[in-house]
Amino acid sequence: MFNDLWLNLLSEGVGIVVTVFVIDRLLKNREKNRWLPAKNFLYSKLFTLTNDFLVHFIPVQYWKIESVVYVFGECEVMVGFEIDYDLFPEMVANNFGLEESVPQTGFTDIETLETLSNEIKDVLSNYIELIEPELLSKLLDLEDTLVFLLKLNEMSKSDANLNITTNVLLKPINTASSIRFWLLSKVNRKINLLIFLEEKNRILKDIQSQKYKLLSKLLSKARIRKTKVD
């Protein structure tokens, strides 16, 4: 009798633990799926920002012309250039094609730096709860670097002896490349632009066909009602 009691308590305890575990797992998955559209929007936004930044600063010889669409859930990003990752080791060894010995007073591309800095600040202000720790670390690092460069740019305007060399852009370019590479792991689908447009066109035709069939059915019913009334 005593053993039976222990067995009953043990089986009930195991049942409770399993139930709690299953429910907890279901709730976590439900919460994850709930925020997935917002995360996909964030990924697509960051991918566009970093890609535009890198296209602006990395020399053309390290890119290949390839019109593709990156799909993040329901969000789509079209790009006309792709980093040639076969040349990536060479690109890193050559400091992303930046000339280290070229001094200048202030940045000639200050608007690009300011735009990216403002966009990153906006992301950190509005989406920080959705950002994974690894991605957050990269974004904070990029933002700190951009703030430093913008301050350096202001200082160079008032100090004639302070020249900026283009190699100070190495860190933000390297960090932006790291963010873009991380975001590639979140891509649901990569598709050639022409194939993508063909698929979209086929979907639109299917929608139009369904609308036509529905309209024809409604008109047919209307005629039947009219005939009955007459």
Extents of the domains making up the chain: 39-187
Helix axes 2-57, 110-126, angle to 10 degrees: 160
pLDDT of residue 17: 56
pLDDT of residue 44: 94
| Whether the model pTM is above 0.75 | no
Alpha-carbon span 226 to 228, nearest angstrom:
5
pLDDT of residue 102: 43
Alpha-carbon span 159 to 200, nearest angstrom:
55
Residue 30 or residue 117, greater confidence: 117
pLDDT of residue 162: 56
Contacts by 127-136, CB closer than 8 A, 24 or more apart:
127/38, 127/42, 130/35, 130/38, 130/39, 130/42, 131/42, 134/182, 135/46, 135/179, 135/182
Q: What is the pLDDT of residues 210-229, one digit of tens each?
A: 766 666 676 676 666 656 55
Q: Does the pLDDT value for residue 93 go beyond 90?
A: no
pLDDT of residue 62: 80
Q: What is the pLDDT of residues 7-45, one digit of tens each?
A: 565 566 656 655 555 554 544 455 555 568 899 999 999
Q: What is the pLDDT of residues 69-80, one digit of tens each?
A: 899 988 888 888
pLDDT band per the 50, 70, 90 thresholds, residue 103:
very low
pLDDT of residue 20: 53
Percent of the chain with pLDDT over 90: 21
